[in-house]
Structure 1
Amino acid sequence: SFCIIPKIRGRFRSRSPESIIAEAEHFAQRGVKEFNLISQDTTMYGVDLKMKDGLVQLLKSLSRIDGLEWLRLFYCYPTFINSELIEYIASEEKVCKYVDVPLQHTHDFMLKRMKRQETEKEVRKMIDELRTKVPGIALRTTFITGFPGETDEHFKHLIEFVREIEFDHMGVFAYSHEEGTTAYDYEDLVPGEIAVARREELMSLQQEICRNKNGARVGEVLPVLIEGSDPGEEYLVTGRLATQAPEIDGQVIIEESDVESGQIVPMLITGATDYDLVARRAEETVEKVST
């Protein structure tokens, strides 16, 4: 009810599997190691093509491409995250143990108002299944604060949910009143300054959660995809874990410069900040750590 994109772009249209596979092969032949899948709702892939478990079938095809090492899923709405998808994420080592699940809110009244199909109980069940079947999975989500009708009680519920679940990565947006959306006609608007204040409070909580999670990783040996020198720091080399998406999540700051871009290298995590990690090349190989 809050998003104008469906009205602008129309109904879901899945690209053919062949075109996606050809694109992935093109990049793999040029040394690309990571291929990200993103759409308006990635879990609906193939529904319009009458494919059964279309996203799983696509992932299976992409997993067979030589050279690709990481396949990452963005914008997987909860409604179509099923056991088949979860089990494939768990079993295929090329699929990053990472899922971006936009929840937008957690209070049932707000979910219904946003015209979301799932309830809080169903969201909790999905999160529990993901974390049980895919140990170490990183969960990213997004929330909206100040949606029309959101009360202090609704926001407190959201805060407590985030504190309990402890997402690995999170984005928060203050509600934007977009003409053409269902929500545009709602009259019980939340003042903009309150929406922004709630956003800041929620992000402050998430910052604390990320700080604690990152601190707990110090001492671990993990595979890091080397991205190269930081544009703003000539001698600073950065990379990412499989649990860190490009640009929107944190990164790994590498304490040495003699590492080749595009390679996945075992790194010892030596330090942590709120959102980033610090690492150096490990003497041992990565064996028991899930990517």
Structure 2
Amino acid sequence: MAIKTPKIGLVSLGCAKNLVDAQRLTSVLIAMGYKIENEYDKCDVVVVNTCGFIGPAVEESMQAIGEALNYSRKVIVTGCLGARAKVIMDKYPQVAAVYGPGMRASVIRGIISLVGKPLESDRQKVSPSGVLLTPPHYAYLKIAEGCRHKCSFCIIPSLRGPLRSRESDSIMKEAIDLTNRGVKELLIIAQDSSDYGHDLKGRPSLSSLMTKLSDTKRWLRVHYLYPSDEATKVVELMAKGIVLPYLDVPFQHVNPTILKAMNRPGNIEKTLRMIEKWRDICPDIAIRSTFIAGFPGETQEQFNELLDFIKEAKLDRVGCFPYSDVDGATANSYLNPVDEQIREERAALLMETQAKISYQKLNERIGKEYQILIDYVSDDGIAVGRSKYESPDIDGVITIENTKGLNPGDMVNAKIIEHDEHDMKAELVSVLDGKIDFIPF
């Protein structure tokens, strides 16, 4: 009688860094011979890779755990919320095991204890860069774990530990393997990518790493750069065409008192000068940022200062979140918390203000032609893609009609003809030769 191969279900929530963790876990499980199953009721074990950064993320993670338990008697929880095991076990005592982020070996041991190991004959060969949970034409490349900053609203250092940069040789090997597999866009991520190498011998920098990665001749998009001199060096690489002209830099606020309370540097004038400098270096740059509205102690005047900054800076993309207590964060104990409804109203007002700016920014692209990387093509020939200015899942998309014959991963030239505050519509100009691995932007 044949021995049944254990089937494992896996759901991953939260940021791209969590997705990379899920990819690594999936890769090991497949190599060991386990089968990955999408339907919970067919799984022998379900692993929920959680996010625990802010309140809404915790709620989403708890709901995902509950849903998994509705279908499976054996559920393992890991990820950031897993660092708060008591919170999970108090609500779901039937969970089989809870592990914190980065504890892949422990998760695997937990799976083995619940359902055993697959047969040797079930083992599968996995690419050195592992299994991708993204479409095959783009991939996230994590260059560091943890964080050395001490922002008062954040608990990432306590969840994921201090900064631990990867050696550049290891990163290059993964990048080369990904490009050999047909990946056309590498999305560079870390908690603070601009901090890369600070903890390594010789202190290699992000800009030096990006210069090395340019040998892959792929789109290189960098996420999460702290406002810094290193960010400026990366902008210089953007001006040279080495890195996509897309800067993802979370400013969080601009009022010096609020920034000090957040344990972050800067002020409105310094930030505006920095943005002006970046635009002088690379006029083609698209800047996206995130902000927190209603941080403890934030007055109406301080919020108005943030609004004034939004109007003057005219950033391309903005996300704003109402402040939310994070269990274990220093800011939880700050005096003068802002009423929750006011936090929501301020965040909504900021996004309304930015929507007008984003609309005008996209209006400037009407009639211009761009290279578009196709992410999805519907059965009726409607293609959805992105230009150098858009990152997957977080920015707007570009829709092109009448494109039957195109496939995800194709690169085309298209002209922008319509837009709203976030998304655009374009008409196809030409399809680039599929044999060409990379077209400079």
TM-score, length-scaled by structure 1: 0.91
User: Where does residue 435 of structure 2 map in the other structure?
Assistant: none
Q: Which of 238, 242, 246 pairs up with 2:384?
A: 238
Quote the Cα distance in structure 1 between the aligned partners of 2:381 and 2:402.
9
For 1:180-223, what per-residue CA distance to the aligned partner results, in whole angstroms no more than 9, with x for missing partners? 11101112100111001101001111111111111221100111
1:118 aligns with 2:269: no
User: Where does residue 235 of structure 2 map in the other structure?
Assistant: 86
Whether contact under 8 Å (2:249, 2:287) holds in the other structure is yes
- Structure with higher Rg: it is 2
Structure 1, 119-128 or 142-151: larger mean CA deviation: 119-128
Q: Which of 414, 419, 432 pairs up with 1:267?
A: 414
Deviation at 1:51, TM superposition (A): 3.9
Structure 2: gaps of 5 or more residues: 1-151, 433-439
Deviation at 1:245, TM superposition (A): 0.7
Quote the Cα distance in structure 2 between the aligned partners of 1:193 and 1:235.
44
Identity %: 38
Whether contact under 8 Å (1:79, 1:117) holds in the other structure is no
Q: Which of 41, 54, 58 pairs up with 2:192?
A: 41
Structure 1, 276-285 or 16-25: larger mean CA deviation: 276-285
User: Where does residue 367 of structure 2 map in the other structure?
Assistant: 219
Q: Which of 245, 252, 264 pairs up with 2:398?
A: 252
Deviation at 1:234, TM superposition (A): 5.5
Whether contact under 8 Å (1:44, 1:80) holds in the other structure is no
The change in CA–CA distance for 1:189 and 1:222 in structure 2 (over 3 A counts) is same
Structure 1, 264-273 or 196-205: larger mean CA deviation: 264-273
1:59 aligns with 2:210: yes
SS of residue paired to 2:224: coil
User: Where does residue 109 of structure 1 map in the other structure?
Assistant: 257
Deviation at 1:284, TM superposition (A): 11
Quote the Cα distance in structure 1 between the aligned partners of 2:413 and 2:381.
20
- Amino acid of the structure 2 residue aligned with 1:36: L
Quote the Cα distance in structure 2 between the aligned partners of 1:163 and 1:284.
38
Quote the Cα distance in structure 1 between the aligned partners of 2:204 and 2:315.
26
The change in CA–CA distance for 1:226 and 1:151 in structure 2 (over 3 A counts) is same
User: Where does residue 229 of structure 1 map in the other structure?
Assistant: 377
For 1:34-70, what per-residue CA distance to the aligned partner results, in whole angstroms no more than 9, with x for missing partners? 001111110000010034451011101110014x2x1
Stretches of 4+ moved more than 4 A in 1?
Answer: none
The change in CA–CA distance for 1:125 and 1:15 in structure 2 (over 3 A counts) is same
SS of residue paired to 1:96: coil
- Amino acid of the structure 2 residue aligned with 1:12: L
Whether contact under 8 Å (1:81, 1:126) holds in the other structure is no
User: Where does residue 358 of structure 2 map in the other structure?
Assistant: 210
Whether contact under 8 Å (2:223, 2:248) holds in the other structure is yes
SS of residue paired to 1:279: strand
- Amino acid of the structure 2 residue aligned with 1:78: P
The change in CA–CA distance for 1:34 and 1:264 in structure 2 (over 3 A counts) is same
Deviation at 1:235, TM superposition (A): 3.9
User: Where does residue 154 of structure 1 map in the other structure?
Assistant: 302
Structure with greater contact order relative to length (CA < 8 Å, sep ≥ 6): 1
SS of residue paired to 1:280: strand
Quote the Cα distance in structure 2 between the aligned partners of 1:10 and 1:284.
46
Quote the Cα distance in structure 1 between the aligned partners of 2:231 and 2:395.
25
Structure 1: gaps of 5 or more residues: none
1:182 aligns with 2:333: no
TM-score, length-scaled by structure 2: 0.61
Whether contact under 8 Å (2:288, 2:315) holds in the other structure is yes
Quote the Cα distance in structure 2 between the aligned partners of 1:32 and 1:133.
29
Please show how residues 156-171 of structure 1 align to structure 2 within 5 Å: 156-171=304-319
User: Where does residue 225 of structure 2 map in the other structure?
Assistant: 76
For 1:263-291, what per-residue CA distance to the aligned partner results, in whole angstroms no more than 9, with x for missing partners? 22111111112211111122699xxxx94
Quote the Cα distance in structure 2 between the aligned partners of 1:260 and 1:278.
18
Structure 1, 140-149 or 255-264: larger mean CA deviation: 255-264
- Amino acid of the structure 2 residue aligned with 1:273: D
SS of residue paired to 1:160: helix
Whether contact under 8 Å (1:79, 1:118) holds in the other structure is no
User: Where does residue 160 of structure 2 map in the other structure?
Assistant: 9
SS of residue paired to 1:242: coil
Quote the Cα distance in structure 1 between the aligned partners of 2:374 and 2:231.
33
Whether contact under 8 Å (1:240, 1:252) holds in the other structure is yes
1:97 aligns with 2:245: yes
Deviation at 1:28, TM superposition (A): 0.8
Q: Which of 413, 423, 426 pairs up with 1:279?
A: 426
- Amino acid of the structure 2 residue aligned with 1:77: Y
